[in-house]
Structure 1
Amino acid sequence: MRWLYLAIGWIAVACATVGAFLPILPTVPFLLVALWAFSRSSDRLRRRLLADPVFGPDIRRWQERGAIRRPAKILAVLAMAASVGIATFLGLPVMAIAVQALLLTAVAGFIVTRPEA
């Protein structure tokens, strides 16, 4: 099982790395998945994520208080709105856009109601 958790952790880190450069792909949620996986497979990698100077503070805020920084909330909601706008611009089926908008509205509601860091 250790190898499975390590693989999940590294895949999540890879997705987070891509997300650091693409605004529509989240970074910290993938790092939270990696932290979960590494906590079951490698304490060294878990500590390394928590000590990261860029993402470590956000991960610790979430872990300790379920808190998200205001700029991160704003960016997340704007990215979700932009993705619905892009889907509309591309002329995707109305039902697909409606489902996307409904799901992203629920996610945005969750994000906005979290405590601020």
Structure 2
Amino acid sequence: MPLKVIYITLGFIFFGLGAIGAFLPVLPTTPFLLLSSACFARGSDRFNDWFTSTKLYKKHLETYYESRAMTVKTKASLLTLATSMMVLSFLAMPNKYGKIFMAGMIVFLYYYFFFQIKTIKEPVKE
């Protein structure tokens, strides 16, 4: 039971960061909403149902969950954040085997995004 409380709490923290990221261009939205979704799914069916009915979910994640596809803009924002964090880790890594591992992870990340996740056009705003 306490683990569910942790997941729900983290879900709300990540949801809040994702909501702030929707308005601030320097804070990414999608990665935090993905984390929020994962936490709510593990924490509570009720909160997961609430989360999947929000406008943020529908705008940023619904197409990915339905079709396993992302827009170019979403892919670019996720890759920018992930790559910058991985490059910082690479630079801070004192061990050459650790650097080789991090370089391999960066290559795998780009392979996965370019060849495993379909790219769709940006939905037309009405």
TM norm structure 2: 0.64
**5+ long unaligned stretches in structure 1:** none
After superposition, what is the alpha-carbon deviation per residue over 1:34-90, rounded to whole angstroms, capped at 9, x for unaligned? 34225xx332x2232112222333322122111222112112222333234334555
Question: Relative to structure 2, which stretch is displaced further, 64-73 or 95-104?
Answer: 95-104
Counterpart check, 1:115 vs 2:118? yes
Alignment of structure 1 residues 72-111 onto 2, 5 Å: 72-90=74-92, 92-93=93-94, 94-111=96-113
CA distance in 2 between counterparts of 1:57 and 1:65 reads 14
- How much is the aligned-residue C-alpha RMSD, in angstroms? 2.9
Q: What one-letter code is carried by the residue in structure 1 that aligns with 2:118?
A: P
Q: Note closer, same or farther for the CA distance 1:32–1:67 as it changes in structure 2 (3 Å cut).
A: farther
CA distance in 1 between counterparts of 2:51 and 2:67 reads 17
Q: Which residue of 2 aligns with 1:31?
A: 36
* Paired residue secondary structure (1:116): strand
Aligned-pair distance for 1:11?
Answer: 1.5
Alignment check: 8 A CA contact 1:13 1:30 kept: no
Alignment check: 8 A CA contact 1:58 1:68 kept: no
CA distance in 1 between counterparts of 2:112 and 2:119 reads 12
Aligned pair partner of 1:49 in 48, 51, 64: 51
* Paired residue secondary structure (1:54): helix
CA distance in 2 between counterparts of 1:63 and 1:56 reads 10
Q: Note closer, same or farther for the CA distance 1:26–1:101 as it changes in structure 2 (3 Å cut).
A: farther
CA distance in 1 between counterparts of 2:107 and 2:15 reads 22
After superposition, what is the alpha-carbon deviation per residue over 1:77-109, rounded to whole angstroms, capped at 9, x for unaligned? 22333234334555x323322212212322332
Q: Note closer, same or farther for the CA distance 1:16–1:108 as it changes in structure 2 (3 Å cut).
A: farther
Q: Which residue of 1 aligns with 2:123?
A: none
CA distance in 2 between counterparts of 1:87 and 1:42 reads 35
